[in-house]
Amino acid sequence: MAEESRRARWTVRELLTWTSERFADLGIPDPRVDAEHLLAHALGCARIDLYVQHDRLLDETDRAGFRELVRRRLAREPVAYIEGTRGFHALDLDLAVDRRALIPRPETEHLVDWLLESLRPPPAPLMHILDVGTGSGAIALAVAKARYEVNATAVDISTQALELAQHNVERLGLEDRVSCVVSDLLDAVTVPKPGFDAIAANLPYIPTADLDGLEPEVHIWEPRSALDGGPDGLTFVRRLIRAVVERSALIPGGRLLLEIGIGQAAQVEALLHDAGFSDVQSRSDYARIPRVVSGARPAAQ
C-alpha cells in the first residue's frame, strides 16, 4: 500500500479503482464490490452514496480507517466479518456476524422461503419451529420476523455461536418469541406437544477432506466445527433425521428441511425415504444446484 500512503489526497473514484486492482491481483472475487463496501463502512455512509461522491477528495484522516480495513481484506478476512453485519432474507433483517458462527448465505434463504410456505397461512394459531445449528440465528429470526404467530427455538452445540444468536435476538427485539438453547442436535430440546410445526437445519455438510480446498475466506476464517460434516459430509444429517423420528419431534405433516452441499441431494432424499418421511423433495439455489431437501412426517407415523 506504499503508493496509497504517499499521495496526500485521493478522490473516491481513484481510491476505489486502486483498491479494486489490489484485490483483483490477489484473486479476491468481486473486488470492486468489496472495495465499495469497505470504503462506505470507513466513511460511515451507505454504499450507494459513493456513486454520487466519485469526485469527493479524501485526505489522510478520511483514509486512515479505510487503510486498516483493506489490510484485513488482503488477509482474506471476509467483508461481513470486517463490517460486523450481514443482511439476510428480509431487507431489514440485519444480523451481527463474527467468527463465532458462519456468515449467513443467500443459499439458506431458499430454506427459509420453503419453511414459510410450509406453515399454515395467516391468520393461524401459535406455531412452533426449531432451527438446528442456528449459528447467528438467521433462520429462526427470519421466520419469526416474517410470521408473528411463530415461536422459534434456536439451538447450537457451540456456546459461542449461541451467544451471538442471542445478541441478534435482542438486537431485533424478538426475545419474546425466539429462545436460544445449547444442544447437540435435539439432545437438550424440549419438544412441544404434539411436536414442532417445522424443523430447519443448516448443519455442517462439507466432507472433511474438502475443507482445506475451500476459499481462504472460509477455511481460514469461518469456524471449522460449523463446516466439517464428516467423511461424506452427512454425519450430522443422519443423526438429526434419526433423532427427529425417534423423538416424534414433528407434528403430522410437519416438514424437516435440510440445507445440503453439492451432489448430496439424492443421498439425503434416500435417507428421508428410509426414515419414513413422505413428500420428499429437493429445491435448487440461484445457481440451479439442489440445495435444500425436505420431507414431511406422515400423518400415521
Q: In whole angstroms, give the CA distance from residue 260 to residue 252.
A: 24
| pLDDT computed for residue 62 by the predictor | 84
| pLDDT computed for residue 139 by the predictor | 98
Quick one: cell of 207? 466432507
- Contact criterion met (CB below 8 Å) for 166 and 180: yes
Whether residue 253 is annotated as binding a ligand: the answer is no
Among 240, 246, 230, which Cα is nearest to 271's?
Answer: 240
pTM of the full structure: 0.93
| pLDDT computed for residue 118 by the predictor | 96
Whether residue 195 is annotated as binding a ligand: the answer is no
Among 188, 187, 169, which Cα is nearest to 179's?
Answer: 169
Whether residue 135 is annotated as binding a ligand: the answer is yes
Whether residue 156 is annotated as binding a ligand: the answer is yes
Whether residue 254 is annotated as binding a ligand: the answer is no
Whether residue 228 is annotated as binding a ligand: the answer is no
- Contact criterion met (CB below 8 Å) for 142 and 165: no
Peptide bond into 104 cis (omega under 30): no
Pick the CATH number of 96-296 from 3.40.50.150, 3.40.50.720, 3.40.50.12280, 3.40.50.300: 3.40.50.150
Quick one: cell of 213? 480446498
Q: Which amino acid is at 84?
A: G
For residue 146, give the DSSP letter: H
| Strand partners for 292 | 259, 283
| pLDDT computed for residue 6 by the predictor | 56
Residue-by-residue DSSP string for 218-238: HHTTS-GGGTB--TTS-HHHH
| pLDDT computed for residue 9 by the predictor | 77
CATH class entry, domain 2-75? mainly alpha
Per-residue pLDDT of the chain (301 residues; tens, 9 = 90+): 555 555 667 899 999 999 999 999 999 999 999 999 999 999 999 999 999 999 999 988 889 999 999 999 999 999 999 999 999 997 679 999 999 999 999 999 999 999 999 999 989 899 999 999 999 999 999 999 999 999 999 999 999 999 999 999 999 999 999 999 999 999 999 999 999 999 999 999 999 999 999 999 999 999 999 999 999 999 999 999 999 999 999 999 999 999 999 999 999 999 999 999 999 999 999 999 999 999 999 876 5
Q: In whole angstroms, give the CA distance from residue 257 to residue 264.
A: 14
| pLDDT computed for residue 90 by the predictor | 78
Q: Parse the chain into domains and list their residue ranges.
A: 2-75, 96-296
| pLDDT computed for residue 101 by the predictor | 98
| pLDDT computed for residue 8 by the predictor | 64
Whether residue 278 is annotated as binding a ligand: the answer is no
